Structure 1
Amino acid sequence: MSSHEQAVGFWSYTHKDDKLNRGRIGKLAQLIADEYEVITGENLRIFVDKNNLEWGAEWRARIEAALTGTTFCIPIVTPAFFNSTECRREVLTFSGHAKSLGLEELLLPILYVKVSGLVEDSPDEVMSLIANRQYVDWTDIRLEDEDSPVHRKAVAALAERLVGILERSLQVASENERVIESRDNEDPALLEMMAEMEAAFPRWTSVVEEFSSVMEVIATKAVTAAQEIEQSDAKGGGFAGRLRVSHQLAESITQPVNRFYELGNLYSTELVNVDPGILTLIREAPRQALTDEDREILGEFFSSVKSAVAASRANIPSLQGFSESVGVLKGLSKSMRPLAAKMESAVRQVMDGQAILDEWERLIDENGPA
């Protein structure tokens, strides 16, 4: 395999995991890069330190260059990985771009520690994305000595897999370029995609609206319960009084919480589904010689996208406040804990989605609507 552009990998992991594993996660990146160079005679640079400004600059540059088939994202998957907002957003952002280009293989997860619920149909969209990729199972290998034959062979196999993925991805990227060059001035496929996104986008915004209204219902009931607890305490109701109010609250919010949870999952699913299409529209629109009418329609659509992004961003403080109140509810009683877990999951799904929305806005502003 030979390429004019250096292959680059982004190591997506939590520093806490690396520390708990005595630095072995960070060292694994270098072992893979070294083996890759042995196999190919070419350098693979893996960015590991997210605190380094160069990491972020190179990430943006590679995304803006449409990945070009030479950029890997390698999530090191552990239970803590899914609790990291930063890691979750990296997966969502990279996955959308890769899928929009037909380069899904460039997302190569390494399952470092077994994770409960890591299945293809997981309601957690990041878990679902990881599970649907052909991840490398490292759960046993990570326990081997780094100089053992088992560990060294596994590193070599990983490097070989990267080489194979890169060769296939470069072919796809090259084909993408040929398709772009051979297109007519006005591409019917782009207009068809625009129509498809116009139909899909309202479905997502309707989920957003219902999510906000259900959250308000739950929050109102929680405030009422807090007031009742204060009144009970004032009357000397003690723990029994608090428990009674907590059980009443749990019963009254069970149905809206279940719907809230469904909407959170639906929100992220719809967003992930529509993401590749919108990224493609943003990327391809400036290359097309559209009619004035189509250009106007596209401009209006991108304006509606930006409005949705701004509205979602404006809701973040209320989401954060709601999340904090859910944390308080956890301590009221055992009956509240599963409900609180569902609410936290729903909020996390929506908060994750802001990374996708921010990317849309950034690309629209940089590329222009058409």
Structure 2
Amino acid sequence: MTTNNGAAGFWSYTHRDDEIEDGRIRRLAAKISNEFEAITAEELHVFLDKADIKWGDEWRNRIDSALTGSTLFIPIITPRFFKSDECRREVLTFSGHAASLGLDELLLPILYINVPGIEKGDESDDVMALISKRQYEDWTQLRLEDENSPKYRQAVHRLAVRLVEILERTAEIEPPPVPLTEDADSDSEEEPGMLEMMVEAEAALPRWGATMSEFAETVSIIGNAVKESAAEMGRSDARGAGFAGRLRATHQLAELIKPSVERLSGLGEQYSAELVKIDPGILRIIRQVESEGSEAGETEQAQEFFKTVRELAQNGRKNMESYQEFSNTLQGLAGMSKSMRPLMGKMRGAAQQIMDGQAVIEEWERRIDEVTS
């Protein structure tokens, strides 16, 4: 059973954060939902448990339709949130769909525990940069208040009022159209038509594929250097050089891989930033093809575009396992020497950005499969 005939709020948080808070995050969701109903006499359907099949079904149903206009996405921001692949993917997915409908305001983050860099928006982290651009609610001090205190209850009321105001404003917003062709008399600065957007995306897709290939090659170079360093440590141990020999090998490794790490970091930032930027436009293309029906979906341009997206998604999946393994091994390397720590941080960040980008592309693939099925 879906609840797509009314307002809904999807809460995105890590269960460990809620456990640490003794269930306060879930209780906050219930309090806001109750206050919303008290103000409006209408229910705000709250979806909390992502393990519940209804969460996933309703989530996909709403982001695939204009009902996004009655759907709020509320990520509970903590340091652990940015370490959750699932939470990051949800932010990117909802943000893209909301932006494609001109409904960015429906993404309403709650800063629950302070995260260094959140105010300025760390550009090396695409999800943090996206969150920082939103008018998030700051609960870093309110979370320390007694839940029954006047200050806490007033804050719950203010947030519920803001949700009501957001839904009222977004209800009046019409999704931006994507015309099939550009009006000959139109201003050249206006939004491009669907075919123009499709051509632009088609040109970009191979470039992203090339970036992924270069990223994989750079990871391989770094991996080979790490293996050689481990072998050198073994030879050093055999010579009886002790920890001094290991430290020397580690310093040599840091200097050797530094250029590759910088390149890896640049590729990750460029890749994810471009994908997030063009994500709403590509989702609008897919939605327009869906609204035009099978005839639009069977055009040569659409077929070629869909094929390229699927190939990009498939190639990305082939590399994801190795990227994840690479990311997992970095923690151990960071503990070897302080000279390695900043390099490990950059490499972990770059790997995360590539994985975030894959999540965006796979969302395009999912929507294309739905449109063409």
TM-score in terms of structure 1 length = 0.92
| Residue type of the alignment partner of 1:207 | T
Residue 4 of structure 1: how far off its partner (Å) = 8.9
1:28 aligns with 2:28: yes
Q: Using a 3 Å threshold, how does the CA distance of structure 1 residues 197 and 294 change in structure 2: closer, same or farther?
A: farther
The equivalent of 1:259 in structure 2 is: 263
Secondary structure of residue in 1 paired with 2:166: helix
The equivalent of 2:13 in structure 1 is: 13
| Residue type of the alignment partner of 1:357 | I
Query: Residue deviations 1:200-229, cap 9 Å, x none?
Result: 334433322221221121111111111111
| Cα distance in structure 2, aligned partners of 1:33 and 1:24 | 14
Residue 342 of structure 1: how far off its partner (Å) = 0.9
Secondary structure of residue in 1 paired with 2:59: helix
| Residue type of the alignment partner of 1:54 | K
Secondary structure of residue in 2 paired with 1:145: coil
Q: Using a 3 Å threshold, how does the CA distance of structure 1 residues 315 and 66 change in structure 2: closer, same or farther?
A: farther
Matches within 5 A, 1:57-76: 57-76=57-76
1:194 aligns with 2:193: no
Query: Residue deviations 1:208-266, cap 9 Å, x none?
Result: 22212211211111111111111112222221111111000001111111111121111
The equivalent of 1:134 in structure 2 is: 135
Query: Residue deviations 1:141-183, cap 9 Å, x none?
Result: 11111111111111111111111110111111xx239x58xx7
Residue 187 of structure 1: how far off its partner (Å) = 4.4
Q: Using a 3 Å threshold, how does the CA distance of structure 1 residues 324 and 148 change in structure 2: closer, same or farther?
A: closer
Secondary structure of residue in 1 paired with 2:172: helix
1:176 aligns with 2:180: no
| Cα distance in structure 2, aligned partners of 1:103 and 1:85 | 24
Residue 328 of structure 1: how far off its partner (Å) = 2.8
Q: Using a 3 Å threshold, how does the CA distance of structure 1 residues 67 and 265 change in structure 2: closer, same or farther?
A: farther
| Residue type of the alignment partner of 1:236 | G
Q: Using a 3 Å threshold, how does the CA distance of structure 1 residues 55 and 290 change in structure 2: closer, same or farther?
A: closer
Match for 2:230 among 198, 222, 226? 226
Secondary structure of residue in 1 paired with 2:73: strand
Match for 2:274 among 270, 273, 276? 270
Q: Which runs of 5 or more residues in structure 2 are unaligned?
A: 183-192
| Cα distance in structure 2, aligned partners of 1:362 and 1:41 | 36
Query: Residue deviations 1:176-197, cap 9 Å, x none?
Result: 39x58xx7xx444211221222
Residue 293 of structure 1: how far off its partner (Å) = 11
The equivalent of 2:292 in structure 1 is: 288
Secondary structure of residue in 2 paired with 1:11: strand
| Aligned residues with identical type, % of pairs | 52
The equivalent of 2:40 in structure 1 is: 40
Residue 86 of structure 1: how far off its partner (Å) = 1.1
Secondary structure of residue in 2 paired with 1:6: coil
Q: Which runs of 5 or more residues in structure 1 are unaligned?
A: none
The equivalent of 1:307 in structure 2 is: 311
The equivalent of 1:319 in structure 2 is: 323
62-71 or 106-115, which deviates more: 62-71
| Residue type of the alignment partner of 1:194 | M
Secondary structure of residue in 1 paired with 2:264: helix
| Residue type of the alignment partner of 2:88 | R
The equivalent of 2:209 in structure 1 is: 205
Please say if residues 4 and 67 of structure 2, whose CA atoms lie closer than 8 Å, have aligned partners that are also in contact. no
Secondary structure of residue in 1 paired with 2:323: helix
The equivalent of 2:153 in structure 1 is: 152
Residue 292 of structure 1: how far off its partner (Å) = 8.4
Residue 31 of structure 1: how far off its partner (Å) = 0.5
| Cα distance in structure 2, aligned partners of 1:244 and 1:128 | 37
Count of residue pairs brought into register by the alignment: 360
Secondary structure of residue in 2 paired with 1:73: strand
| Residue type of the alignment partner of 2:265 | Y
TM-score in terms of structure 2 length = 0.91
| Residue type of the alignment partner of 1:27 | R
| Residue type of the alignment partner of 2:230 | A
1:328 aligns with 2:332: yes
1:342 aligns with 2:346: yes
| Residue type of the alignment partner of 2:47 | F
Query: Residue deviations 1:265-284, cap 9 Å, x none?
Result: 11111111121111111111
Q: Using a 3 Å threshold, how does the CA distance of structure 1 residues 191 and 290 change in structure 2: closer, same or farther?
A: farther
Match for 2:358 among 344, 354, 361? 354
| Cα distance in structure 2, aligned partners of 1:67 and 1:346 | 34
Q: Using a 3 Å threshold, how does the CA distance of structure 1 residues 66 and 203 change in structure 2: closer, same or farther?
A: farther
Query: Residue deviations 1:26-65, cap 9 Å, x none?
Result: 1000110001001111000111111212111111111222
| Cα distance in structure 1, aligned partners of 2:123 and 2:77 | 15
| Cα distance in structure 2, aligned partners of 1:207 and 1:81 | 27
Q: Using a 3 Å threshold, how does the CA distance of structure 1 residues 260 and 36 change in structure 2: closer, same or farther?
A: same
Match for 1:366 among 352, 366, 370? 370
244-253 or 57-66, which deviates more: 57-66
Q: C-alpha root-mean-square deviation of aligned residues, in Å? A: 2.2
287-296 or 336-345, which deviates more: 287-296
| Cα distance in structure 1, aligned partners of 2:25 and 2:122 | 28
